[in-house]
Amino acid sequence: MIHVFLLTIYLGAGDTRQLSSNDMYFRSVDRCNYFASRVTKVYGNYGTKDKLQRDDYVTAYCIPKKVDPGTTKVYE
């Protein structure tokens, strides 16, 4: 067993918030935070973030976990 960081991604806000992804594991918290930062960027023709629908909000967290590297894919 090794300690890794699980990237979890949620879509929406409040009552509409749903878990979208929780299967990406990283050896480094810095690498995990890099991808957390990238997936939460908003691209599009919105003008400002204030005009985003609540369903379009993206939140990402890096959570420490302990996994078996023999059965779990761990990214560098």
Better-scored residue on pLDDT, 3 or 13: 3
pLDDT tens string 37-60: 999 987 766 566 667 777 888 999
User: Mean pLDDT throughout 16-22?
Assistant: 93
So what's the pLDDT on residue 44? Answer: 66
Q: Which 3 state secondary structure label does DSSP give 37?
A: helix
CA–CA distances in Å: residue 43 to residues 2, 8, 20, 48: 35, 20, 18, 10
Sign, Cα dihedral of 40, 20, 12, 44: positive
Better-scored residue on pLDDT, 15 or 66: 66
